[in-house]
């Protein structure tokens, strides 16, 4: 009989789901309630896209983009219960929430060199435990031993309206139809890619938050967190 060593994993919560499903808002609220750290992993992919755009390399061959990624010096810095993303010593966190950056992030996240570069960054943060991490592959690849895995879904129209309001609060006005189309394209890219596709982990619990408030969703998660 094979003996399995008993490994204690530090407590973590993985929240995965499609674009604009409310993952980050919910993960932040859960982390705040528990006094844990919230790690928004989308911002890591977005920081790479942001840097490629600024360097005029968004369309460069993969080999050149990968060399750029390896030299970026991407760092997660924990601040006020959340994470900031630094490229070298520059905090780029507040420059990442545009549609242009999101679109390229979805595309560069399919490059193996990008996923490899970010794997260690994410696991290093989670190794300390007491982290709520949101993304696309957290429950399946980054934290397969997470204490609780949630797969968050919401009606595409509800998601489009949430994203439209987020954009509007950043001074960008777009018709709902255009936002919905963008979300559907992003969903299809994230679900159908070969590497680390967006998929529900077999042991994840599905939460449809289309008609729930953030507080109700937080309660739903806390009630299911093993203590």
**Residues in contact with ligand DC by the rule CB under 6 A:** 19, 41-42, 45-46, 102, 105-106, 109, 135-138, 186, 190
Give the nearer residue to ligand DC in terms of CB position, either 65 or 136: 136
Cα 152 from chain centroid (whole Å)? 12
Q: Least distance (Å) from ligand DC to the CB of residue 3?
A: 33
Give the nearer residue to ligand DC in terms of CB position, either 93 or 137: 137
Q: Least distance (Å) from ligand DC to the CB of residue 75?
A: 17
Q: Give DSSP secondary structure letters for 134-185.
A: EESSIIIII-TT-SEEEEEE--HHHHHHHHHHHHHHTT----HHHHHHHHHH
Cβ atoms 221, 13 nearer than 8 A: yes
Q: Least distance (Å) from ligand DC to the CB of residue 187?
A: 9
Q: Least distance (Å) from ligand DC to the CB of residue 92?
A: 13
Q: At what angle do helices 99-108 and 176-192 cross, to 10 degrees?
A: 20
**SS3 sequence of 67-129:** HHHHCCCEEEEEECCEEEEEECCEECHHHCCCHHHHHHHHHHCCCHHHHHHHHHHHHHHHHCC
Give the nearer residue to ligand DC in terms of CB position, either 36 or 40: 40
Q: Least distance (Å) from ligand DC to the CB of residue 50?
A: 11
Give the nearer residue to ligand DC in terms of CB position, either 166 or 219: 166
Cα 170 from chain centroid (whole Å)? 20
Give the nearer residue to ligand DC in terms of CB position, either 106 or 217: 106
């Amino acid at each position: 009989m094979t003996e399995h060593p008993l490994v204690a994993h530090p407590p973590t919560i993985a929240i995965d789901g499609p674009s604009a499903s409310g993952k980050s808002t919910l993960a932040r609220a859960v982390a705040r309630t528990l006094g844990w750290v919230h790690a928004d992993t989308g911002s890591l992919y977005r920081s790479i896209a942001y840097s490629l755009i600024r360097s005029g390399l968004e369309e460069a061959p993969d080999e050149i983009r990968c060399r750029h990624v390896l030299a970026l010096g991407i760092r997660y810095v924990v601040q006020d219960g959340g994470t900031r993303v630094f490229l070298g010593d520059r905090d780029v966190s507040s420059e990442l929430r545009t549609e242009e950056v999101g679109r390229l992030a979805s595309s560069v996240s399919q490059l193996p060199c990008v996923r490899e570069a970010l794997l260690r960054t994410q696991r290093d943060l989670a190794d300390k435990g007491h982290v709520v991490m949101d993304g696309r592959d957290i429950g399946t690849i980054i934290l397969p031993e997470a204490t609780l895995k949630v797969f968050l879904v919401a009606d595409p129209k509800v998601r489009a309206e949430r994203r439209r309001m987020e954009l509007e609060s950043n001074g960008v006005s777009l018709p709902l139809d255009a936002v919905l189309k963008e979300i559907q394209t992003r969903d299809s890219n994230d679900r159908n890619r070969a590497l680390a596709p967006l998929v529900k982990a077999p042991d994840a619990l599905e939460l449809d938050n289309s008609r729930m408030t953030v507080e109700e969703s937080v309660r739903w998660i806390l009630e299911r967190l093993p203590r």
